[in-house]
Structures are given as structure tokens and as C-alpha cells.
Amino acid sequence: MSTSEYSHPAIGDFTGNRRDGILQFLGVQYATLADRFAPPVLKHYPTKTVVVDATKHGPQVNPGGADFEFKLLQQSLPYDASSVTTSETECLSLNLTVPVDSNGRSVDEKVPVFVFIHGGGFMNGSANFPQYDLTRLVRLSVEKGMPMIGVSVNYRLGITGFLTSKSMQAAGYEANNGLRDQRAGLLWLKQYVHAFNGDPENITLVGESAGAVSVAYHLHSKTPLFKRAMLMSGTTLLMRPLPTAATEATYSRAVQALGFSELSASETVARLCNMDGQEMRGNLMKAGVFAFPSVDGEIAPSEVTWTNVMDGSLPLKGREWCEAIVIGDCAFDGSINSLRLGHRKTGIDQSFHDFMSKSLSVLISAKLFSAYDLPASDDEAFVNILEVSNDLQFYAPTVAFAKLLSNDAKVYVYRYNEPNTWPGTFQGRTTHIHDLVFLLQNFNEKLSDKQKDLAVEFACDIIRFANGVEPWKAYQGEAKLAKVLKAGDVKVVEDKPALTERRSIVFEIADETGWDVYAQAFSKWFNGA
């Protein structure tokens, strides 16, 4: 790998990393922050006064490396955790991966732009992690004659990303900072990506897990932000925007945990903005105070319910300007919830049985327990309850959103079924994020030959999609089709549980008891009520 300079007419000269037909610009700041809770302001560049050093990753908003996600993946990549830096005000950066010819020029003009938003529950993660490197995907796009630029986005997480209250808003601090950051990154690309020979009107926004939830939130935008979208194992039904009462309660708990209860509203906001970040995060984590997206009348204009998704009344302006959408899941996305429920494994069968029996009718609860083989030992019940979460929080929402979005846009559904063959807790199951492993190509050396073929096929599907070419037959009309992805057994079939290796019981229960009733009952138990 060597360094190479690149001249951007609107910004100035960049120094990036060059290797094997790829020029990569790391840590490119797209917005600035006055303080940790301030709204993002698009980066201003003095005209050609400095060279932008884009040879290394920018700082993350929160400490923590990729190891926690490697444990989830049950596989790892080389990673230097000592290189991680953090900053609450200089964390808004992009990593751009640009295909170039032997002379360092773009291989084409106005190529599509693939923008990736990482997951992590809006609490963890970084676009800098090696599993999110877009080099191989971009290189494959060149090899297949459909070049594209790859971009990954860092944004604020946790408390700085989502803490809000009426007093903060009165002081000029808006809700949903993390989502506003992502939007600022997209607006930066609209303004500046043309000089990297990217087409600002041909952006495909891709997200996984909380990143997919983010993409769904951006579909509320009145202003077109991208041309196509891809939601991998996440919708706003997974992480619905919190109502004002919930955000005020979170804020009150934060104020109390930090010892600010005796301060005025304005003094409290000032202390929140200026206190030591490590101390703030530590105290709030110790007190169990966490912040997530909330209803703000703009990015999240209204509550998201099963009812308004199913009846089509959810106000998604993106249906008017986003022309095509890929949406899909992994067969056992519920594996991610082992992180949330692990400490409750002892007695989990009885806890779940007692709560759901009180929350649902006798007939419905009996049907639920029978379908998921409950009661059982705690170890077995733990996995079976993860299956319940899988169907209600991941699988069924992808079906609901596919139906909702297909009324206005071209929708392509996939069902990812390739098992995770690496040693670990869920070896042999199709775990959360496993589809992303195959899409981005970064673990190909650790795959079998058949798995490598599947990885390349899936990646080529999405490369075609980003280039405006139909990846497989659409989910349209009466024959609502899905592509089932499994090594040696890839096929396009009707998106029915019996054909895609999914369970139909979630629809049977919800149709009888009501989607919001079932979802609320499970959510209350899941959150420890």
C-alpha cells in the first residue's frame, strides 16, 4: 500500500491510500460540532490552503474496538485496537473507497455511490472496523464492469447520539443527533462526491441492523436523500421511535444519575454539554440510562406501530422519491438478543411463561408455547425464546415493510439461510450479521468454496442493484418473490414461510390477537417489565 494525492476542485488536495486499483480516503470529516450535543454543520473547507490527510481513520465517538462484534460473528479479522482514537466533537467522518486506473484517475465518470451505515444498536460500532471495509466490494464491482464508489459513515451513538428533552430542545439541541449526522453525511456526498467521479444523484443507502433501522427512518425525509435503499435485518418496527414521555423519563434519570437535580434547566444542559465525557458515559451506564431514537416531528415525524405499517398509513415520504429497495433477514437474527437476555437465562422459561400467560388469552398463549416448544429447560427455552424474538422483531417486519413499500417502489426481498459454520455458541445457525459477512467479502478466506461462490453471487446482486439493474425478480403483484440464499441451493421462490424456511406462527398469533397487542406484550417482557 502506498499514499497518493488527489485534487478535489471544491476542497483541495487529499492524500489517500492506494492499493490494487483502489484509492481510499479515510477519516474525511463531513460535519463539525460545536459541542457533543450540537447539531451537525457541514464541514467548511478553506480554499486550497491545506492538504487533507486521509490516510488513517478518524476518531470514533465512543471507545471500544471490533472485538465485541467478532464474538458475535464467531470469527475475527486482524485489528489493531491500540489505533482506536475517540472524540465527541471530531467523530463525524466518512471513509471513501474509490476505484482508479493505473494513473490514479477514476475508472469511469459519474459512477454510483454505495453508502453503508453500520449497526450496533445505536450504542456501539464504528465504520472503521475491518469487517466494514468496502475495498473488496468496490474492487469486485470494477471486475464485473459495474464500478461504484464505497462510503462508510461514522455517526454519534448512545447518549450523545440520542439523549433529548424539552429543556435541551429549548436550548437549541435537537433530538436524534445520530440520525441527523447520517443525513449530514448524505448531504455532504450530494455536494462533494462528484469530484471523486461519483454520481450524487445515484446513491444507494445500505444499513445493517440498527443501520437498517436508520435507513428506514431516512425514508421519512421530505427531501430526496438517495435513489435506492437496502435494509438488512432491521426496520423501525425493530427500534420504534420513543414518545416524548419516554424521552423525558430517560432525561430525568440521567439528570439524577449525574447529580444535577438541584440545577436549573439551563444549568443542567450546560453541564451536560461540558462535563467530562468519560465520566458522563460511565455514570449513565452504571445507572442503566440509555438513549434511542425518538419522535421529533421531522426525522421521526410520528410513532411507528404495527397498525400504521400494516394499513399503509405510516407517513413515509421516501415512497415518493426512493425508486427501489432491497430488504431481507437472516434465518436466526434473534441470535443478537442473546446479548440482551443472557443474564436472564436462569428461570427464563418460567418468567416468559408467566408473563405471556397474563398478557395474552389462554388459547393464544397456549398456541405460542406449543409452537416454540415451551416449557423446556432454561438452556433450550433461552434459544426458543430467541426464536420468538426473531420472528416478531426481524422476520415479520421485513414482510410488513416489503408489502408497504412495494405499493410505490420496486422491492426485492431476500431470505439469507446460509449457516454460520464457525465454532461458537450458535454454530450451524444463520446468525445475525452473517449476510453482511458474505456481502462485503472480507472473510472470504475463511469460507468454503461453495460459500465463496455464494458470497460473490450476493455481492454481485447488490452491485447490480446499485447500478440500477434488477438483482433478481421483484416482490410485486400476486407472486411476491424472494431470493433464498444458501450455498449450493440459491433460488427465487414465493415469499412464503414454507418455501423460505421461516415460521408462519408469528402471523397466526398476531392475526388473532392483534399485531400491536402481541408486539407490546413481548416487548414488555423483553425489556424486563
Lowest average pLDDT, out of 105-114, 151-160, 381-390, goes to 105-114
3 band by pLDDT with thresholds 50, 70 and 90: confident
pTM of the model: 0.96
Asked whether the CA dihedral 74, 79, 81, 85 is positive or negative, the reply is negative
Per residue in 180-201, pLDDT (tens digit) is 999 999 999 999 999 899 999 9
Mean pLDDT (the chain) is 95
179-202 in b/e burial notation, b at 16+ Cβ within 10 A?
bbbbbbbbbbbbebbbebbbbbeb
Q: Across the strands, what pairs with 24?
A: 17, 97
Q: Supply the pLDDT for residue 12.
A: 79
% of the chain surpassing 90 pLDDT = 89
Using DSSP, state whether 482 is helix, strand or coil: strand
Per residue in 246-276, pLDDT (tens digit) is 999 999 999 999 999 999 999 999 999 999 9
Query: 459 near 471, Cβ under 8 Å?
Result: no
C-alpha cell at 427: 454454530
Over 90: is that where the pLDDT of 104 sits?
no
Chain centre to alpha carbon of residue 206? 8
Query: 486 near 418, Cβ under 8 Å?
Result: yes
Looking at per-residue confidence, does 62 or 239 come out higher?
239
Q: Supply the pLDDT for residue 508.
A: 97
Q: Supply the pLDDT for residue 2.
A: 76
Chain centre to alpha carbon of residue 434? 14
64 band by pLDDT with thresholds 50, 70 and 90: confident
Q: Report how far residue 6's alpha carbon sits from residue 25's, in angstroms, rounded to the nearest whole number.
A: 10
User: Cβ neighbours of residue 298 under 8 Å, at least 6 residues apart?
Assistant: 220
Residue found under cell 471544491 = 10
Per residue in 343-398, pLDDT (tens digit) is 999 999 999 999 999 999 999 999 999 999 999 999 999 999 999 999 999 999 99
Q: Report how far residue 291's alpha carbon sits from residue 123's, in angstroms, rounded to the nearest whole number.
A: 8
Lowest average pLDDT, out of 104-113, 146-155, 395-404, goes to 104-113
% of the chain surpassing 70 pLDDT = 98
Strands 198-208 and 324-330: unpaired
Query: 520 near 528, Cβ under 8 Å?
Result: no
Q: DSSP labels for 209-231?
A: THHHHHHHHHTT-SS---SEEEE
The C-alpha torsion from 237 through 241 and 243 to 247, rounded to 10°, is 130
Q: Which CATH architecture has domain 1-321?
A: 3-Layer(aba) Sandwich (3.40)
